[in-house]
Amino acid sequence: MGFSANIAGSRRTKNGSGPGAQLAAAGVVALLLSACAAMEPQDSTPFNAAVPVPPPRAPAADTKTAAEHRRMIALFDGEYRYPPAEAYLNEILVKLANADERAAEPYKVTILNSPIVNAFALPPGELYVTRGLLALANDASEVAAVMAHEIAHITAKHAMQREEQEKRAAVISEAASVIQSKQKSQEVEALAQRTIASFSRQQELEADQIGIRVAAKAGFDPYGAVRFLNALGRSAALRSALMGRYAGAGTPDLLATHPSTPERVAQAINAARQIGAPGIGATGRASYLAAIDGMTFGDDPAEGAIRGRKFLHGRLGFAFLAPEGFVLENASQALLGIKAGGAEALRLDSVNVPSATPLTAYMATGWIDGLIDSSIETAEVNAMPAATATASAGEWKFRLAVIRFEPDRVYRLIFATRALTEEAKQRFQASIDSFHHVSADEVKAVRPLRLAIGVAKAGETAESLAAQMAVPDRALDYFLLINELARGEPLHRGESYKIVAE
Tell me: pLDDT of 447 over 50. yes
H-only helix segments in 276-411: 285-292, 359-363
| 359 and 274 co-located in one domain | no
- Spatial distance between the Cα atoms of 188 and 410, rounded to a whole number of angstroms: 43
List pLDDT tens digits, range 392-439: 988 899 999 999 999 999 999 999 999 999 999 999 999 999 999 999
What does each C-alpha distance from 249 to 66, 77, 258, 262, 496 come to in angstroms?
42, 33, 17, 11, 34
> Domain residues for 490?
450-501
| 257 and 394 co-located in one domain | no
Per DSSP, 41 falls in state -
The answer to whether position 327 is within a domain reads yes
Query: What's the pLDDT band for 160 if we cut at 50, 70, 90?
Result: very low
Per DSSP, 490 falls in state P
Tell me: pLDDT of 169 over 70. no
- Spatial distance between the Cα atoms of 379 and 35, rounded to a whole number of angstroms: 29
Residue 39 near residue 22 (C-beta atoms within 8 A)? yes
In this structure, the strands spanning 305-307 and 126-130 are: unpaired
Phi first, then psi, for residue 497 (nearest 5°) are -140, 155
User: Which of the listed residues 233, 267, 292 is the one where a domain comes to its end?
Assistant: 292
Tell me the three state secondary structure of residue 412.
strand
The answer to whether position 390 is within a domain reads yes
Query: What's the pLDDT band for 473 if we cut at 50, 70, 90?
Result: confident
Tell me: pLDDT of 182 over 50. no
The answer to whether position 50 is within a domain reads no
Residue 400 near residue 393 (C-beta atoms within 8 A)? no
The answer to whether position 352 is within a domain reads yes
**Span 36-56, average pLDDT:** 37
The answer to whether position 465 is within a domain reads yes
Q: Which of 15-24, 289-298, 461-470, 474-483 has the weakest average pLDDT?
A: 15-24
For the ranges 89-103, 108-122, 131-145, the maximum mean pLDDT occurs at: 131-145
| 410 and 351 co-located in one domain | yes
**Residue scoring higher pLDDT (473 or 73):** 73
Amino acid residing at 62: D
**Average pLDDT value over all residues in the chain:** 79
- Spatial distance between the Cα atoms of 379 and 235, rounded to a whole number of angstroms: 42
| 151 and 286 co-located in one domain | yes
Q: What is the CATH number of the domain that holds 458?
A: 3.10.350
- Determine the length of the chain: 502
- Spatial distance between the Cα atoms of 196 and 201, rounded to a whole number of angstroms: 9
What does each C-alpha distance from 466 to 149, 205, 220, 469, 500 come to in angstroms?
32, 35, 30, 5, 9
Does a cis peptide bond (omega within 30 degrees of 0) precede residue 124?
yes
CB burial of 129-146 (b: ≥16 within 10 Å; e: otherwise) equals bbbbbbbbbbbbbbbbbb
The answer to whether position 19 is within a domain reads no
| 149 and 267 co-located in one domain | yes
Whole-angstrom distance between the N-terminal and C-terminal Cα of the chain?
A: 31
| 313 and 372 co-located in one domain | yes
- Spatial distance between the Cα atoms of 121 and 246, rounded to a whole number of angstroms: 31
Query: What's the pLDDT band for 445 if we cut at 50, 70, 90?
Result: confident
| 73 and 109 co-located in one domain | yes
| 478 and 433 co-located in one domain | no
Check: pTM over 0.85? Answer yes or no: no
The total of structural domains in the chain comes to 3
What lies within 8 Å, CB to CB, of 141 at 6+ separation is 215, 220, 221, 222, 223, 224, 227, 281, 282, 283, 284
Residue 331 near residue 35 (C-beta atoms within 8 A)? yes
The answer to whether position 40 is within a domain reads no
| 387 and 484 co-located in one domain | no
Q: What pLDDT score does 46 carry?
A: 46
| 327 and 385 co-located in one domain | yes
| 349 and 435 co-located in one domain | yes
Q: What is the CATH number of the domain that holds 324?
A: 3.40.1000.10
What does each C-alpha distance from 79 to 72, 76, 135, 159, 332 come to in angstroms?
9, 8, 16, 23, 17
The answer to whether position 104 is within a domain reads yes
| 494 and 381 co-located in one domain | no
What lies within 8 Å, CB to CB, of 251 at 6+ separation is none
